[in-house]
Structure 1
Amino acid sequence: MATVILVRHGRTTANATGVLAGRTPGVLLDETGEKQAAATGERLAVVPLAALVSSPLDRCRQTIEEIRRRQVAPPEVTVDEAISECDYGDWQGRPLAELAGEDLWTTVQRHPSAAHFPGGESIHHMQSRSVAAIRAHDAAIEAEHGAGAVWVAVSHGDIIKAVVADAYGMHLDLFQRVQADPASVTIIRYGRSRPQVVSVNTHAGDLAWLAPTPGADAPDEDAAVGGGAGPAASPGGRS
């Protein structure tokens, strides 16, 4: 089975000032976000990537370019609207401190499956479209590049949280328990029996163990009873 690395974009000017950017055009990485994206690019440089997929928003395009430029044989970037930010509708562009006073805020926090942003989309729809897109890309990349393929999708916090919740088999009402920080790395494998959530919201650590080894077997789709021995290429274990 292929391996998808979900990367959230680096910190933006909107993140730093507490504004819900949503799909507002022209929201860029701030200085901290640029450093975060570069650090994630360095971290992934040891992993030959079969494909790169990005949300169309500028902050994701900036982040994925930092990853792409550090690859020895960089693939072209595929832009997919289906992993774009949630359509927050009338909430877009407003301060989070102000939104916290809205009745809908409580629904978003406690029962997100019932939340529909005025003038925008529901969290349920956001999850459905993003999960379908990630799974479709994963299947296509595995079919083209083989079961050891590793690829990256750069997207947004709520998108990544929703994809992780689906992979865990969690009800959408629990997706706020998942964290996805700026420029963090989350790793999932979609097996025929079940997805495997390999890591969530990591910021540092050697990822060389993800690099496909010629002649090596593809990752085992069966769960390792007792936990298993871990990847052979990682002396220090997963990070």
Structure 2
Amino acid sequence: MSFNQTRVILVRHGRSTYNDQQRYQGCCDESVLTEQGKQQAFQTGIALSQINFDAIYASPLKRTQETAKEILRVTNSSAQLHLNSNLKEVDLPGWQGLEYKYVRQDLKQEYQIWEESPQEFAIETIESNGQTLVKTKIKPVLQLYEKARQFWQEILPLHQGKTVLIVSHGGTIRALISTATGIKADHYHAIQQSNSGISIIDFENTSLSNAKIAAINLTQHLGEVLPKLKNGKHGLRLLLLPVNSQNHQTNDGTEKITNFLKNVELDFCLNHDISNAQSIVESIIESQSNTPVHLQVSRQDFLDTWHQQISKRSLDYHGLSTGLIVADTNTISTTLNQILELESTTSLQINPGEISILFYPTSQNKPVLQAMNINGTF
């Protein structure tokens, strides 16, 4: 990390009571960590224990404070915990405490807007004008993005060249990642953030215009090979493995990837027609208990073309289909940039040999970036 580079590590709170009950949490403070959530937070602390944090920020809600305290129990950091209200979860008055199922079935129109056009989603709230209470409508996602921008503007100048830990909520972390890199609010649901998942952003000179995502939703420290699917287990999951076409993968690198994926059941493997991709795929297939379908493609834009075709039609998967795509690093980087509609081609730091995951749920055409730069060691 360079002298001017600020590294920000973002952690979502551990599993909570409302997570277990399948209820919307929002800004309400009734939800607290479950025993599993406390254990997840503790495991996250162990994973981060060798990092010396210069500053630690958390949402003031109970579930995030509990998570931060569990993490701090096992880290060597002497930094003080700062609570910041701009790190609260998205405000969903009227939905908070309601079960997901109820909202999907009884508030269908609002739910459809929330899922398909989150930037347009509006919900009624009650505000005080000083003397009386007034009903008004807010756009929660746009409000959340504005708070995320305010947070960055407030804290980045204070920590140039330092390492900062942020403990917050799934929606808020997505907004922080998005506002740091220029991802628009209509892609609010395009990134997954699991309970106690770790994401990393690097900033050059504390500027939002020079932010780079180094990792998204790492969960291997929780004992998971891949992050659990949030949108049910129906759809197409693509494991994207970038390789450098200029250099051959080392035997150690191939063995590491093969061992990492040996317990992941693959239905098919596709590799770009470059020298080292073929040998990597063959090694991975040999480790599988089944025999995945293996195809080699020569078109350099095959991944982008495939994404365009999937996005135009509804998937008809009754279950989960998992495929491995081995391609040039630039090919994978370009596709992810296009999916997230990033203005800067340098906002994603795609590392050769580290896996990113795209999931296309049966219920929707838009893919979800489940994780980025999984290396199996965090």
Instruction: Report 1 or 2 for greater relative contact order, CA contacts < 8 Å, sequence distance ≥ 6.
Output: 1
| Residue-by-residue CA offset, 1:96-143 (whole Å, 9 max, x unaligned) | 11111321111111111111222174210111112320342122122x
Change (3 A) 1:51 1:202: same
State how far apart, in whole Å, the 1-side matches of 2:26 and 2:34 are.
Answer: 16
Report which stretch shifted further, 32-41 or 95-104.
95-104
Contact 1:112 1:172 in 2 (8 A): yes
What SS is found at the alignment partner of 1:114? coil
Report which stretch shifted further, 132-141 or 15-24.
132-141
**Unaligned ranges ≥5, structure 1:** 206-222, 231-235
Higher strand residue share: 2
State how far apart, in whole Å, the 2-side matches of 1:40 and 1:66 are.
Answer: 9
Aligned counterparts, 1:80-91, within 5 A: 80-91=84-95
Determine whether 1:160 maps to 2:173: yes
Determine whether 1:182 maps to 2:195: yes
State how far apart, in whole Å, the 2-side matches of 1:197 and 1:86 are.
Answer: 22
Change (3 A) 1:184 1:135: farther
| Residue-by-residue CA offset, 1:5-57 (whole Å, 9 max, x unaligned) | 11100000100110112222242111111111011011111100001101000
Counting aligned pairs with the same residue, the percent is 24
**Unaligned ranges ≥5, structure 2:** 126-136, 222-345, 354-374
State how far apart, in whole Å, the 2-side matches of 1:197 and 1:17 are.
Answer: 32
Report which stretch shifted further, 7-16 or 122-131.
122-131
* 1:71 CA drift (Å): 2.4
State how far apart, in whole Å, the 2-side matches of 1:196 and 1:190 are.
Answer: 6
State how far apart, in whole Å, the 1-side matches of 2:181 and 2:188 are.
Answer: 10
User: What residue number does 1:130 align with?
Assistant: 148
Q: What amino acid is the match of 2:90? A: C
Supply the RMSD in Å over aligned alpha carbons: 2.5
Q: What amino acid is the match of 1:115? A: F
Contact 2:199 2:216 in 1 (8 A): yes
User: What residue number does 2:114 align with?
Assistant: 108
Determine whether 1:139 maps to 2:143: no
State how far apart, in whole Å, the 2-side matches of 1:5 and 1:227 are.
Answer: 17
Question: How many pairs are equivalent?
Answer: 212
User: What residue number does 1:196 align with?
Assistant: 212
What SS is found at the alignment partner of 2:123? coil
Give the TM-score normalised by the residue count of structure 1: 0.81
| Bigger Rg over Cα | 2
What SS is found at the alignment partner of 2:220? coil
Aligned counterparts, 1:1-239, within 5 A: 1-101=5-105, 102=107, 103-119=109-125, 121-122=138-139, 123-142=141-160, 147=161, 149-191=162-204, 192=207, 193-204=209-220, 239=378
Change (3 A) 1:228 1:10: closer
What SS is found at the alignment partner of 1:197? strand
